[in-house]
Amino acid sequence: MEHRQLGATDIKVSLICLGTMTWGQQNTAEEGYAQMDYAVSRGINFFDTAELYAIPPSAETYGRTEEIMGEWFKKSGKRKDIILATKVVGPAAHLPWIRSGTAIPDRANIMEAVEGSLIRLQTDYIDLYQIHWPQRPVNSFGKLGYEENSITGREADDILETLEALSELVTSGKVRAIGLSNETPWGLMTFLKYAEGRNLPRVVSVQNPYNLLNRAYEVGLAEMSMQENVGLLAYSPLGGGTLTGKYLNGQVPKGSRRDIDKRSSRYKKPSAEEATQNYVDIAKKHGLDPAQMALAFVNTRPFLTSNIIGATTMEQLKTNIDSIDVKLDGEVLDDIAALHARLSNPCP
Q: Could you give the residue numbers annotated as active site?
A: 53
Q: Can you tell me the distance from the alpha carbon of 298 to that of 312, in angstroms, rounded to the nearest whole number?
A: 20
Element (H, E) at 19: strand 16-19
Residue 244 Cα distances to 227, 273, 279, 316, angstroms: 33, 12, 9, 10
- In angstroms, the CA 95 to CA 89 distance is 10
**Residues shown for the chain:** 348
Contact call for residues 271 and 346 (beta carbons, < 8 A): yes
Backbone angles phi and psi of 60, in degrees to 5: -70, -30
Region of 321 (left: φ > 0; alpha: ψ -120 to 50; beta: rest) is alpha
Residue 35 CA neighbour count, 13 Å, CB half: 32
Q: Of the candidates 33, 7, 22, 76, which has an alpha carbon nearest to the alpha carbon of residue 240?
A: 22
Spatial distance between the Cα atoms of 341 and 338, rounded to a whole number of angstroms: 5
For residue 9, the number of C-alpha atoms closer than 13 Å in the C-beta half-sphere is 24
What span, in angstroms and rounded, lies between the C-alpha atoms of 77 and 224? Answer: 37
Distance from C-alpha of 187 to C-alpha of 183, rounded to nearest angstrom = 6
Residue 32: which H helix or E strand, with range? helix 29-41
CA–CA separation, 2 and 16 (whole Å): 8
